[in-house]
Amino acid sequence: MRYVVAYDIASDAHRAAAADFLLGWGDRVQYSIFEVDVNARELETLISALDPHVRPPADRLRVWRLCAACQRATHAIGGAPVGERELAWIV
C-alpha cells in the first residue's frame, strides 16, 4: 500500500535523521514529504522509528494512505515521476 509521510520537525538534527531514514523507504516528493510503499507491519516499524524524532507540540508527523483510486487521481507538476519501487535480487 502506498502512503504519504509528511513532517514538520523544528530540530535540524531530528529533521535530518527523519529524512535520511525515509530515503531508505521511499521517494522524496517534496522537502519534507515522502511516498512509501509498505505493508501494515512495515508501516508500524516506520512510524516507531520516526517517533523519537518528533517532539510535539512543536513538531508534527502525518501519514496518509493512498488507495489505488487516489493514486490514479493524483496530479503532479514538476519533479521526477514517482514510480513503483523495483525489487532487486542480488545473488
> Is residue 60 within 8 Å of 29, Cβ to Cβ?
no
pTM of the model: 0.83
What CATH number does residue 21 fall under?
3.30.70.240
Whether residue 64 is contained in a domain is answered as yes
Whether residue 26 is contained in a domain is answered as yes
Q: How many domains does the chain have?
A: 1
- State residue 22 phi and psi, 5-degree precision: -65, -30
For residues 82 and 75, give the distance between their C-alpha atoms in angstroms, rounded to a whole number.
11
What are the tens digits of pLDDT across the range 26-59? 999 999 999 999 999 999 999 999 999 999 999 9
Whether residue 28 is contained in a domain is answered as yes
What residue numbers bound the domain in which 21 lies? 2-72
Whether residue 49 is contained in a domain is answered as yes
